[in-house]
A = this chain, B = another copy of it.
Amino acid sequence: MAVGLHDFPLIPEIKGIRIGVAEAGIKKPNKKDVVLFELCEGASVVGVFTQNAFCAAPVRICQKHLGLAGSRYLLINTGNANAGTGKSGLDAALKTCEVLAHQAEVSVESILPFSTGVIGEPLPVAKIVAAIPKALDNLSGDNWHSAGIGIMTTDTLPKGSVRTFEFDGVTYSVAGISKGAGMIRPNMATMLGYVCSDIAMEVDVLHAILKDVVNKSFNRITVDSDTSTNDSCIAVATGMAGNAKVTSVSEPLAQAFIAAFTEVMQELAHAIVRDGEGATKFVAVEVVGAAIESDATKVAFEIAHSPLVKTALFASDPNWGRILAVVGRSGVESLDVDRVQLHINGFEVARDGGRSPDYLEEHGKQAMAPQEIHIVVDLGMGSESDTVWTTDFSHDYVTINAEYRT
Is the beta-carbon distance between A321 and B84 smaller than 8 angstroms?
yes
Is the beta-carbon distance between B53 and A335 smaller than 8 angstroms?
yes
Is the beta-carbon distance between A311 and B397 smaller than 8 angstroms?
yes
Is the beta-carbon distance between B86 and A353 smaller than 8 angstroms?
yes
Is the beta-carbon distance between A227 and B325 smaller than 8 angstroms?
yes
Name the residue of chain B whose CB is nearest to the CB of A393: B398
Q: Is A144 an interface residue (CB 8 A)?
A: no
Is the beta-carbon distance between B329 and A53 smaller than 8 angstroms?
yes
Q: Is A394 an interface residue (CB 8 A)?
A: yes
Is the beta-carbon distance between B224 and A308 smaller than 8 angstroms?
yes
Q: Is A239 an interface residue (CB 8 A)?
A: no
Given B83, B308, B337, which contacts A183 in the complex, CB threshold below 8 Å? B308
Is the beta-carbon distance between A226 and B317 smaller than 8 angstroms?
no
Residue in A52, A317, A326, A401 whose Cβ sees the most chain B Cβ within 10 Å: A401
Residues of the B chain whose Cβ atoms lie less than 8 Å from the Cβ of A55: 328
Q: Is A110 an interface residue (CB 8 A)?
A: no
Q: Separation in Å of the A111 CB from the closest CB of chain B?
A: 23
Is the beta-carbon distance between B52 and A322 smaller than 8 angstroms?
no
Residue in A319, A321, A322 whose Cβ sees the most chain B Cβ within 10 Å: A321
- Docked complex: A227-243 residues within 8 A CB-CB of B: 227-229
Residues of the B chain whose Cβ atoms lie less than 8 Å from the Cβ of A401: 307-308, 311-312, 315
Q: Given A307-B224, A321-B119, A354-B89, check contact A54 B398 (CB 8 Å).
A: no
Number of interface residues of A (CB under 8 A): 65
Q: Is A138 an interface residue (CB 8 A)?
A: no
Residues of the B chain whose Cβ atoms lie less than 8 Å from the Cβ of A352: 86-87
Q: Separation in Å of the A48 CB from the closest CB of chain B?
A: 16
Q: Given A319-B405, A405-B317, check contact A325 B395 (CB 8 Å).
A: no
Residues of the B chain whose Cβ atoms lie less than 8 Å from the Cβ of A307: 224-226, 307, 393, 397, 401
Is the beta-carbon distance between B84 and A354 smaller than 8 angstroms?
yes
Number of copies: 2
Is the beta-carbon distance between B84 and A329 smaller than 8 angstroms?
no
Q: Is A305 an interface residue (CB 8 A)?
A: yes
Q: Is A402 an interface residue (CB 8 A)?
A: yes
The proximity string for A residues 289-318 relative to B, scoring 1 for CB distances below 8 Å and 0 otherwise, is 000000000000000011110011011010
Is the beta-carbon distance between B120 and A329 smaller than 8 angstroms?
no
Q: Given A229-B325, A320-B120, check contact A402 B332 (CB 8 Å).
A: no
Is the beta-carbon distance between A54 and B317 smaller than 8 angstroms?
no
A224-B405 Cα distance, complex, nearest whole Å: 24
Residues of the B chain whose Cβ atoms lie less than 8 Å from the Cβ of A398: 311, 314, 393-395, 397-398
Residues of the B chain whose Cβ atoms lie less than 8 Å from the Cβ of A337: 53-54
Q: Given A86-B338, A317-B406, A404-B319, check contact A187 B329 (CB 8 Å).
A: yes
Is the beta-carbon distance between B224 and A119 smaller than 8 angstroms?
no
Name the residue of chain B whose CB is nearest to the CB of A187: B329
Q: Is A88 an interface residue (CB 8 A)?
A: yes
Name the residue of chain B whose CB is nearest to the CB of A320: B120
Q: Given A53-B337, A401-B307, check contact A119 B324 (CB 8 Å).
A: yes
The proximity string for A residues 371-406 relative to B, scoring 1 for CB distances below 8 Å and 0 otherwise, is 000000000000000000000011101110111111
Could you pull out 18 A-B pairs where Cβ atoms are within 8 angstroms?
A53-B329, A54-B324, A84-B353, A86-B352, A86-B354, A88-B354, A118-B321, A119-B321, A120-B324, A120-B354, A183-B322, A183-B325, A225-B307, A226-B322, A227-B325, A229-B324, A307-B307, A311-B398
